Chain A
Amino acid sequence: MRRLGDLEAEIMDRLWTWNRPATVREIVDDINKTRPIAYTTVMTVTNILYGKGWLLRGKHGRAWLYSPVRSREQYAAALMEDGLGESKDRPAALVHFVANMSEEEQAALRKALRNTARQADQAKADS
């Protein structure tokens, strides 16, 4: 299972980096530069990614050309917003560092930070 996920990531990584539609053969050849891998393995996993909705494909001559549905940045933004709880219905699923703040809260915060900085200076001057 773990290795399958890794190969999925490798395939997506290449398609995002190349930023153009590519055939399974091109992906296999590129992976083969670093380690041997069977054409059928890559084809199977590419099909899984297509089935999961990560890839689009179109016929070019006799070969399928695959391309990511969305850019890496678009996926990342959707994931981040999901993880930060900006989309609804994710109770207890993800714990994020800080919540958004309103203007007034930010002003109160700046004041609090300034006060501590002043106190720290004072303490330094006193000692």
Chain B
Amino acid sequence: MNAAPALIGYTAAVGFAAPYLLLRAAWPHRAPALAAAVWHALAVSFSFGAALSAASLAMPAENLHAGLVGLLHACGLDVGAGQPNPEVAGRLAVGVPAAIGIALMASFAFHVVRARRARSEHREAVDLVGRHSAHLSATVLPYDVPAAYCLPGRGPRIVISDAAVRQLTPEQLGAVLEHEQAHIAGRHHLVLAAVEAFYSVFRWLPLARHAREQTALLLEMIADDRALRSHSHEVLATAMYEMATARTPKGALAAGGHTTLIRLKRVLGPRRTAHPALWASVAAAAAMVPLLPLLVACPPGLG
């Protein structure tokens, strides 16, 4: 019994069909953290699926019993019987999955390190140019447009323009700072680096493209929800509106601009959370999805 066709079919479904199903679903915007977890689970599942597909293609006669342990066992010890060139097949069966794993790890490390370097340079300059406000727990920069962003990671900073401090009400300012604080506390930069890494390895894959875009939006929604815990919907929405419309777009259509609109409609719309039963089943599915390729590789009862 060869698992390769089933594995390839499964991997293709995760990489090409699953993102469209998830994009069409209504619940992700009601449970953004869960949805972000599902995008990640799909990415992990696809990576496992691709690695196992490569392994089973390289060893068509082997049944990959007992998952990864079986894979290593099969490659290390049992390769040979009836194989035209067992050594090459064995090497490929280990080499290709290993290459996929190493590429993903290296890409993640690269993104984390590069972003950290960019942030620390930026932070150094912000500390020289801006004035730290102990009252706001933020660094204020002289800039005549209301705007705010954060530098997450080690030695985090929230940077806000003095125009924002002047033009926003104290409540609006509080909501904006709370939103940025949520990004820092939630270590959202690592989540972004992970989807960015997946995207740089599987650039052509619909799953990679959508996971990257959707995760960025879902992280904003998570931060919005955090701000809504202590601020009203109107306050957050009007703060977002003030800041989104103050700047004149450079170029024809500002990239990602529509995501602000999606967030605003969500903040203003009726407050809906995902049904607990739906939430629980999706969470269970998200936990299972990364393991599915192993089940496909080794159908119970056949191993």
Interface of A toward B, CB cutoff 8 Å: 5, 8-9, 12, 54, 72-73, 75-77, 79-80, 82-84, 86, 90-102, 105-106, 108-110, 112-113, 115-116, 120
Q: What are 20 A-to-B residue pairs whose CB atoms are below 8 Å?
A: A76-B141, A79-B130, A79-B159, A92-B189, A92-B192, A93-B151, A94-B119, A94-B149, A95-B150, A95-B152, A96-B147, A97-B176, A98-B263, A99-B255, A99-B257, A102-B249, A105-B261, A106-B244, A110-B241, A113-B241
Are the CB atoms of B161 and A109 closer together than 8 Å? Answer: no
**Is B283 an interface residue when CB atoms closer than 8 A count as contact?**
no
Are the CB atoms of B141 and A80 closer together than 8 Å? Answer: yes
Q: How far is the CB of A48 from chain B (nearest CB, A)?
A: 12
**Which residues on A sit within 8 Å (CB–CB) of B234?**
116, 120
Give the tally of cross-chain contacts (CB within 8 A).
Answer: 150
**Which residues on A sit within 8 Å (CB–CB) of B176?**
97
**Which residues on B sit within 8 Å (CB–CB) of A77?**
143
Task: Using known A-B contacts A12-B128, A75-B125, A99-B257, determine if residue A109 contacts B189 with beta carbons closer than 8 Å.
Answer: no
Are the CB atoms of B254 and A101 closer together than 8 Å? Answer: yes
**Which residues on B sit within 8 Å (CB–CB) of A108?**
261
**Which residues on A sit within 8 Å (CB–CB) of B127?**
5, 9
CA distance A112 to B142 in the complex (A): 31
Partner of A98, one of B129, B188, B219, B243: B243
Partner of A109, one of B148, B219, B244: B244
CA distance A80 to B125 in the complex (A): 11
Partner of B254, one of A76, A95, A97, A100: A100
**Which residues on B sit within 8 Å (CB–CB) of A96?**
147-150
Are the CB atoms of B129 and A75 closer together than 8 Å? Answer: yes
Are the CB atoms of A98 and B244 closer together than 8 Å? Answer: yes
Query: Per-residue CB proximity of B190-215 to A under 8 Å, as 1/0?
Result: 00110010000000000000000000
**Which residues on A sit within 8 Å (CB–CB) of B114?**
93
Chain B interface SS verdict (over half)? helix
Query: Per-residue CB proximity of B248-264 to A under 8 Å, as 1/0?
Result: 11100111111111011
CA distance A112 to B267 in the complex (A): 10
Q: How far is the CB of B175 from chain A (nearest CB, A)?
A: 10
Task: Using known A-B contacts A72-B129, A112-B265, determine if residue A99 contacts B147 with beta carbons closer than 8 Å.
Answer: no
Task: Using known A-B contacts A8-B128, A79-B126, A112-B268, determine if residue A97 contacts B179 with beta carbons closer than 8 Å.
Answer: yes
Are the CB atoms of B254 and A102 closer together than 8 Å? Answer: yes
CA distance A79 to B148 in the complex (A): 11
Are the CB atoms of A93 and B119 closer together than 8 Å? Answer: yes
Query: Per-residue CB proximity of B262-300 to A under 8 Å, as 1/0?
Result: 011100100000000000000000000000000000000
Task: Using known A-B contacts A5-B124, A102-B254, determine if residue A116 contacts B249 with beta carbons closer than 8 Å.
Answer: no
Interface of B toward A, CB cutoff 8 Å: 111, 114-115, 118-119, 122, 124-130, 141-143, 145, 147-152, 159, 161, 176, 179-180, 183, 188-189, 192-193, 196, 219, 233-234, 237-238, 240-241, 243-245, 247-250, 253-261, 263-265, 268
Q: How far is the CB of B53 from chain A (nearest CB, A)?
A: 29
CA distance A98 to B265 in the complex (A): 14
Are the CB atoms of B259 and A95 closer together than 8 Å? Answer: no
Are the CB atoms of A97 and B124 closer together than 8 Å? Answer: no
Are the CB atoms of A80 and B128 closer together than 8 Å? Answer: no
Are the CB atoms of B115 and A93 closer together than 8 Å? Answer: yes
Partner of B128, one of A54, A94, A105: A54
Q: How far is the CB of B112 from chain A (nearest CB, A)?
A: 8
CA distance A101 to B152 in the complex (A): 24
Q: A91-B115, A94-B119, A109-B241 are in contact. List 10 more A-B contacts (CB 8 A).
A: A75-B129, A76-B161, A94-B122, A95-B150, A96-B147, A97-B147, A98-B243, A99-B256, A100-B244, A105-B260
Are the CB atoms of A101 and B245 closer together than 8 Å? Answer: yes
Which of B149, B183, B241, B265 has the most A CB atoms < 10 Å from its CB?
A: B149
CA distance A93 to B156 in the complex (A): 12
Are the CB atoms of B260 and A73 closer together than 8 Å? Answer: no
